Structure 1
Amino acid sequence: MSSGVRILVAGVGNIFLGDDGFGPEVVRSLAGTAQPEGVRLVDYGIRGMHLAYDLLDGWDGLVLIDAVPGTGEPGAVRVFEAGDTAPAAVRVDAHGMDPASVFATLAALGGSRPRTVVVGCQAQCVDEGIGLSPAVAAAVEPAAGAVRRAVQLLQRTDPAAPSGVGG
């Protein structure tokens, strides 16, 4: 039975900056498994403009996978629903990936952000270099599970309904 709901799962981050490559690594992990009907899995890397244009295609939901800054425990996975606030000023960068700028660019293009769940991981090191730190690498599979749960949530709820996402 098809829910008819279309969900974009987007891994974002720069694989050349250590833990910033978390989103693409989770997408790589999920790529080896079957995705539910209506779900598209994409590694956007640092192609923010590409993500903004793809979001113009009328998605019902977005699961954004990314490394998150902060002072928490490295490797901690956080799941939360993105708020409706947009940055006051937008700097369009065709080669960058700042989710707030992607959403603002989407709005400038005449689109609107679908209901968005973020699956983030506290980064330990975003210095130049390929590969995740041990703590962040250990978070890839738990994050993949969180992505699956976020997809299920988005599939069974009205996109206009209030959120019930927690992490």
Structure 2
Amino acid sequence: MTTRESPAGVLVAGVGNVFLGDDGFGVECVRRLRRFTAPQVPDGVEIADIGVRGVHLAYQLLDGYRLLVLVDAVSRGGPPGTVHLIEADTGPVEPSATPALDGHRMGPDAVLALLATLSAGTGGTPPERILVVGCEPLSLAEGMGLSAPVAAAVDGAVRLILRLLAEAEEAPAPAGARGGRSEREASSCSER
């Protein structure tokens, strides 16, 4: 399910449920990203269609990725089809005693909460920097296929991800460094 076979320094993970309309945004973005090869997608980048396997993603993230780019539908109050770049706070997080585990609706917040719990319990290494490329959904109702505004946003989101990958390759984070807040949009991840 990935384009690279070995552990990578960078993971681009498309999450979402393709049976819930615009929730399939992240999955569609990574499907299109797989069409690109080097130099657009640098070596050391793993592209994964995670879908609804948020628990699997949280465990995979303990392998010590330098950068995680989560791609998902996120509601932040903008018009449908608006693409957001959000830098998640990667500072110390208190692990949740009971992280919300819902295999069909485990978005960025839930994955990151579970990751904090798992890393505290296992000593695993979470990503140094976490970015979320999110798109405002029009509808998360049952049904396959993206709405027109969200489908129109996919190519722009893919270009944004390619730009982020190029920037990450040009200026890799120092080992052990924690990501700061983004000037583009600094916040914790918002969920639908």
Do the two structures share a fold, i.e. TM-score over 0.5? yes
Residues 21 and 87 of structure 1: CA distance in aligned 2, closer, same or farther (over 3 Å): farther
Show the counterpart of 2:49. Answer: 43
1:114-133 aligned at under 5 Å gives the runs 114=127, 115-133=129-147
After superposition, the C-alpha distances for 1:75-96 in whole angstroms (9 at most, x for unaligned) are 0111121124668551234554
d(CA) in 2 for partners of 1:87, 1:99: 15
Show the counterpart of 2:110. Answer: 101
Show the counterpart of 2:163. Answer: 149
How far 1:72 sits from its partner (Å)? 1.3
How far 1:109 sits from its partner (Å)? 1.9
RMSD over aligned Cα, in angstroms? 2.1
Gapped regions of structure 2 (runs ≥ 5)? 1-7, 186-192
Question: Normalising to structure 2: TM-score of the pair?
Answer: 0.77
Choose which of 11, 28, 49 in structure 2 pairs with 1:8. Answer: 11
After superposition, the C-alpha distances for 1:44-76 in whole angstroms (9 at most, x for unaligned) are 001001101110111000001010114311101
Code of the aligned partner of 1:61? L
d(CA) in 2 for partners of 1:10, 1:55: 10
Code of the aligned partner of 2:178? A
Question: Normalising to structure 1: TM-score of the pair?
Answer: 0.87
Residues 162 and 70 of structure 1: CA distance in aligned 2, closer, same or farther (over 3 Å): closer
Match status 1:91 vs 2:100: yes
Gapped regions of structure 1 (runs ≥ 5)? none
